[in-house]
Homo-oligomer: A and B are copies of this chain.
Amino acid sequence: MRTFSFIDETRGAMRDARAEGKTIGFVPTMGALHEGHLSLVREAKREADYTAVSIFVNPAQFGEGEDLDRYPRTIEKDSGLLVSEGVDLLFLPAEKLMYPEGNDTRVVPGEVASHLEGAKRPDHFQGICTIVLKLFNIIEPDIAFFGQKDAQQFAVLSKMTKDLDIPVDMRECPIVREDDGLALSSRNRYLSEKERVAAPVFFNSLMEAEKVVIAGERNSKTIKSLMIDIISRERGAKLDYVEIVDANDFSIIENLQSEVYILVAGYIVDTRLIDNVRIRIN
C-alpha cells in the first residue's frame, strides 16, 4: 500500500493506475476503522481493480460543541488494517492541505439535507458534500462506497453527484453490526461498559418496527409510536428522532410504500448514535 499526504503524488498514482486501464474504487473515511469500513473496502476490491482509501477527520462536518477534538484517531492501526485488506493507496492529508486559510467555496445541498440529521446538525451536510467533492476531484474514482448506517449522508451525496453531474457511481453497502445488533460506529468506543449494554435499544426498536411492517402495518405514526415506547423504557437512552422516509428521495412519509428507511437517532448518556433499516414494501 502506498500512503500519500499530498495531492500531486496522489493524483500521479491514480493517473498511473488509470493509464493501466484499471477501474478505481474509493472509500472515504474519517479513520478509527472498524469492520463496517472494512466491508466497504472489501466491496471496493470486488468491484474495482484499484482501491483507494482516504482518512481525514473533516472539521467542516462537525458543529460547535460536537466531538471533533475527541474523535478517535488511530492512524497506525488503521493503516495496518488497510494493508491487510490489500488496499492500493491511502490518502492521508493534513487539515491545512484540505482547508488552507481562505478556503471558502462550499457545496451546499438542497432539500434532501434540510431535515433529520441536517436539522440537528447545521452545516453538517455542507461540510460532507464539500470534502467528498474535493476527495473525488483528487482521487477521480469510478465507484465510491459508503455505509448505509449514514443513510441520509448517502442520500445527500447521491443527490449531489446527480445534481452536479459528477462521474462517480455511488454504492451504499449494508450496515455491519455487533452480535447484539448494535451498528458498528467509531463513536461506539465512547460508551462505558454499562452504556454499551443499553446501546442496542435503537436497533431493537428498529427490529420491532420491521416486524410490524412485515405483518402489514403501513401507518408511519403507529410504527414510530411503537419505537418511541421501546426507547423510552431504556434508562440512559434519550431519543433524538424516529422517522420514516421514502428511500428514493428521503422525504418523510405518512404511509409506507415502495421502499423506505426507518431511521432512529438518540443518545446513550452523552454519546449520539444513529441507526436505520431499509425495507422494501411488497
Contacts and interface: CB of A to CB of B under 8 A. Distances in A.
Interface of A: 7, 11, 102-111, 129-130, 133-134, 137-138, 140, 159-160, 162-167, 249
A105 B105 contact: no
Chain copies in the assembly?
Answer: 2
Contacts of A138: 165, 167
A167 B109 CA distance: 22
A105 B160 contact: yes
A11 B133 contact: no
A106 B105 contact: no
Contacts of A133: 164
4 A-B pairs with the lowest CB-CB distances in the bound complex, closest first: A104-B110, A105-B163, A137-B165, A134-B165
Contacts of A129: 105
B109 A159 contact: no
Nearest to A15: B167
A106 B125 CA distance: 12
A275 to B, nearest CB: 26
Contact of A167 (B111, B140, B167): B140
Contacts of A107: 105-108, 164
Contacts of A102: 110-111, 249
Of A129, A133, A165, A166, most B-chain CB atoms within 10 Å: A165
B108 A106 contact: yes
B164 A134 contact: yes
6 contacts: A105-B163, A107-B108, A130-B164, A133-B164, A137-B164, A140-B167
Contacts of A105: 107-110, 129, 159-160, 163-164
Contacts of A164: 105, 107, 130, 133-134, 137
Contacts of A7: 165
Nearest to A106: B108
A110 B111 CA distance: 21
A183 B248 CA distance: 49
A137 B166 contact: yes
Of A11, A137, A166, most B-chain CB atoms within 10 Å: A137
Given A130-B164, A133-B164, 12 more contacts: A11-B167, A102-B249, A104-B110, A104-B159, A105-B107, A105-B108, A105-B159, A105-B164, A106-B107, A106-B110, A107-B108, A137-B167
A159 B106 CA distance: 11
Contacts of A159: 104-105
Contacts of A166: 137
